[in-house]
């Protein structure tokens, strides 16, 4: 299935886009989405493997399941405020 | 006890928001976080009771101002991007958690989104409490956790 | 760098004093503390330069409010007595010391003398600095040392 | 010589006066003034022996000399602000 991962801030500027679309299996978890992001962007693999993802506006654990209808966002902050 | 959260467009006013919007029973603290917000601002308030206000012995206000340089380069402004409603919800949860942990009376948080010019305010945290030590510890912890967990990003706009 | 000290009669206004009274060279920090003061208020200012203002990234303001009870008894007000000019001079010296030690940009201190009713402000400390951690540490140290060393006494006025 | 020591706050209320006058020798130090205060008020002797004195609006060390023309004040605070 297809998961669209919203991205923000300097990452969005660097990649010149507002989201990254990845393909994962129908039983995918948050961890699988991280892995798919890392595979798609090998030069930032370490970053994507450990980046925190929010599912439907709450931080999600690596084991949490993901569905194609979920709103997934990559929340990696470097000191806002 | 009172929690008031507002994320609004552009620089913050120099005037602080009043802590007390509508006096109401303290039980309103248990009300669920508001999930919706308008395009122009997101504003989430819980209310403070009059007896609680009489215990306030200290108010500490932190204001973040956009500095004219960022990592050594001159900037004209910072642009803040908030991922809503997660930004407002997580600020609200953070404020409730800090309020309970440090036995505070009220927390008011204001954060800008969009462009804020150098020299203007982009963030304000006001804490009412009985004593000073709790307020300072709470302020430090709030800002550390906000920077780590609340989905608001800043981008420099260079001159 | 700027230090502004004011001890004035009655409750403090809800408006903060501006940090910048007259832009002037930073060397004014070395000016001697003013020894005289009028009967109605004592006010001591040193000035802040425009380039220093551009470094301000955080402003932290502490306000002390008179609580309605003191040691378990209801009070109508507190009455503050300041031993002048020692009170103003020692606040000025304390502010300079804290400013240098924590590398702050500006400190403004306001303290009431005379009667301040419950719920009204009697003390305000505003700190401008580049970063937050210094401001919070400086605020804590300033208030501890003020309570120990600055000759201002408070007396409860019971209902 | 005579030294007038200004007092404030709860101490002034307790003693119902604004100063305490003590007699000390012409070569007296701050320590001697503390001692004279303690002798004059034996029920608060310990307090007066350790109380901080300001001479001419600055805290003075125990060894500092005192003159009859000096402004001496007892600065004992119990948490202002």
pLDDT digits (tens, 9 = 90+) for B102-125: 999 999 999 999 999 999 999 999
Q: How would residue B101 be classed by pLDDT, with cut points 50, 70 and 90?
A: very high
**C-beta of residue B137 within 8 angstroms of C-beta of residue B41:** no
Burial environment of residue A50 by CB neighbours within 10 A (0 to 12, 13 to 18, 19 or more): exposed
Give the pLDDT score at C32: 38
Q: What gap in Å lies between CA B55 and CA A78, rounded to an integer?
A: 37
Give the pLDDT score at B35: 39
B153, B155, B157: best mutation site toward chain A, by most A Cβ within 10 Å? B153
Q: Which of A8-12, A61-65, B130-134, D64-68 has the lowest mean pLDDT?
A: B130-134
pLDDT in tens, C87-140: 999 999 999 999 999 999 999 999 999 999 999 999 999 999 988 888 999 999
The length of chain C, given as a count of residues? 159
Give the pLDDT score at B38: 42
**C-beta of residue B107 within 8 angstroms of C-beta of residue B95:** yes
DSSP state of C27: G
Give the pLDDT score at C18: 72
Class of domain D2-75: alpha beta
- Examine the pLDDT at B32 and tell me if it is beyond 50: no
Helix (H) or strand (E) holding A72: strand A72-74
| Residue of B85, B149, B155 lying closest to A13 (CB–CB) | B155
- Percent of chain B whose predicted confidence (pLDDT) is above 70: 77
Burial environment of residue C36 by CB neighbours within 10 A (0 to 12, 13 to 18, 19 or more): exposed
- Examine the pLDDT at B83 and tell me if it is beyond 60: yes
- Examine the pLDDT at A33 and tell me if it is beyond 70: yes
Q: How would residue B9 be classed by pLDDT, with cut points 50, 70 and 90?
A: very high
Q: In Å, how far is C51's CA from the nearest CA of chain D?
A: 32
ipTM of the complex: 0.82
Q: Which of residues 20-79 of A touch B (CB under 8 A)?
A: 54, 57-59, 73, 75, 77, 79
- Examine the pLDDT at B37 and tell me if it is beyond 90: no
Helix (H) or strand (E) holding C76: strand C73-82
User: What is residue C11's three-state secondary structure?
Assistant: coil
Mean pLDDT of all residues in B63-74: 87
- Examine the pLDDT at B13 and tell me if it is beyond 80: yes
- Examine the pLDDT at C12 and tell me if it is beyond 90: yes
Q: Mark out the alpha helices in D1-81 (DSSP H runs).
A: 9-15, 30-40, 45-50
pLDDT in tens, C15-54: 887 765 443 333 333 333 343 444 445 666 666 666 666 6
Chain B residues whose CB is inside 8 A of the C136 CB are 136, 139-140
- Residue-averaged pLDDT of chain A: 93
Q: How would residue C57 be classed by pLDDT, with cut points 50, 70 and 90?
A: confident
Q: What gap in Å lies between CA D48 and CA D74, rounded to an integer?
A: 9
Chain B residues whose CB is inside 8 A of the A77 CB are 147-153
Other Cβ atoms less than 10 A from the Cβ of A76: the count is 17
A18 interface with B at CB cutoff 8 Å: no
Q: In Å, how far is B120's CA from the nearest CA of chain A?
A: 13
B34, B78, B86: best mutation site toward chain A, by most A Cβ within 10 Å? B86
B68 to chain C: nearest residue by CA? C54
Q: Which of A64-68, C45-49, D14-18 has the lowest mean pLDDT?
A: C45-49
Q: Which of B8-22, B25-39, C104-118, C144-158 has the lowest mean pLDDT?
A: B25-39
* Sequence-distant (≥ 6) Cβ neighbours of residue D27 within 8 angstroms: D65
B45 vs C4, more confident: C4
Q: What gap in Å lies between CA C60 and CA C110, rounded to an integer?
A: 14
User: What is residue C37's three-state secondary structure?
Assistant: coil
- Residue-averaged pLDDT of chain B: 83
Give the pLDDT score at B39: 42
B16, B57, B106, B144: best mutation site toward chain C, by most C Cβ within 10 Å? B57
- Examine the pLDDT at B34 and tell me if it is beyond 90: no
pLDDT in tens, A39-55: 999 999 999 999 999 99
Give the pLDDT score at B65: 92
Give the DSSP letter string of B31-46. Answer: SPPP----SSEEEEE-
Q: What gap in Å lies between CA A45 and CA C36, rounded to an integer?
A: 67
**C-beta of residue B53 within 8 angstroms of C-beta of residue B20:** yes
User: Where do the structural domains in chain D lie, given as residue ranges?
Assistant: 2-75
**C-beta of residue B58 within 8 angstroms of C-beta of residue D81:** no
pTM assigned to the model: 0.83
> In 3D, which of B44, B42, B3, B6 has the Cα closest to residue B26?
B3
């Amino acid at each position: 299935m297809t998961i669209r991962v919203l991205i923000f801030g300097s990452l969005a500027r660097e990649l010149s886009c507002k989201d990254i679309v990845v393909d994962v299996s129908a039983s995918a978890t948050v961890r699988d989405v991280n892995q798919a992001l890392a595979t798609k962007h090998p030069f930032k693999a370490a970053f994507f493997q450990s980046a925190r993802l929010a599912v439907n506006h709450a931080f999600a654990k690596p084991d949490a399941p993901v569905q194609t209808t979920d709103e997934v966002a990559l929340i990696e902050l470097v000191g806002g405020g | 006890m009172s929690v008031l959260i507002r994320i609004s467009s552009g620089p913050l006013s120099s005037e602080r928001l009043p802590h007390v919007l509508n006096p109401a029973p303290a039980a309103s603290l248990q009300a669920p976080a508001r999930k919706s917000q308008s395009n122009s601002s997101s504003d989430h308030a819980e209310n403070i009771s009059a007896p609680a206000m009489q215990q306030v012995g200290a108010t500490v206000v932190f204001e973040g101002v956009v500095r004219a340089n960022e990592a050594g380069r001159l900037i004209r402004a910072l642009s803040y991007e908030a991922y809503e409603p997660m930004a407002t919800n997580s600020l609200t949860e953070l404020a409730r958690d800090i309020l309970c942990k440090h036995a505070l009376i009220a927390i008011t948080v204001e954060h800008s989104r969009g462009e804020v010019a150098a020299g203007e305010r982009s963030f304000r945290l006001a804490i009412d409490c009985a004593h000073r030590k709790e307020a300072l510890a709470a302020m430090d912890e709030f800002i550390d956790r906000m920077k780590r967990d609340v989905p608001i990003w800043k981008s420099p706009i260079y001159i």
